[in-house]
Homo-oligomer: A and B are copies of this chain.
Amino acid sequence: MAGKLYIVGVGPGHHDHMTFRAKQVIEESDTIVGYTTYVNLVENLIDGKDVYRYAMTQEVERAQQCIDLAKEGKTVSLVSSGDPGIYGMAGLIYETLAESGWNPKTGLQVEIVPGVSALNSCASLIGSPLMTDFAVVSMSDLLVPWEIIVKRVEAAAAGDYVIVIYNPSSKKRIHQLQDTRKLLLKYRSPSTPVAIIKGAYRETESIT
């Protein structure tokens, strides 16, 4: 039997903000793959399934594993918080498939299930909808060189965009947000409103 790979966005993390389609494909799947924190978000749906939990830095292994399992005939859900397209695993899956000469029409069946991303949920929570144009930029310089991130922040500031920052800092990455703050103050008043949101709609939610 041909397998199938779903790349599923489960939304901000609270079950209420998941889509019907996301729940449906997780229930349909016999195999669940994901970063441990994301798998935990859907724990109530995966009883009795084969579950592969991965640590944060094993994205490439995770992509390969999903593809291998689906090729073996499994129905696999690769779970992701938010929307799997926005800083999620969808791109890496397509890249890995493309490298192996994948033909979307005749090869492994892949479906992306879009979800409510952090930019949607955070803006809703703070009552500050993204009503006018906005730019979305990640501070993570693991895949994008820092000079490009700086160029993008400058462009967004110059273009008078509302700016949504993903991955603002980590244990090893602190200076980036500070540098961005300095950059933005060249263009914006120090009284520009800023909201810092962690764990939107989860029990750990915090808003500053």
Contact = CB atoms under 8 A, between A and B. Distances in A.
A112 B127 contact: yes
Q: Is the interface of A mostly helix, strand, loop or mixed?
A: mixed
- Interface residue range, chain A: 35 or more
B152 A85 contact: no
A6 to B, nearest CB: 11
19 contacts: A9-B120, A17-B21, A18-B19, A20-B20, A83-B120, A84-B124, A85-B123, A85-B129, A85-B131, A86-B120, A86-B130, A86-B131, A112-B127, A114-B120, A115-B116, A115-B120, A120-B120, A132-B144, A133-B137
Contacts of A117: 120
Interface in A51-93: 83-88, 90-92
B21 A20 contact: no
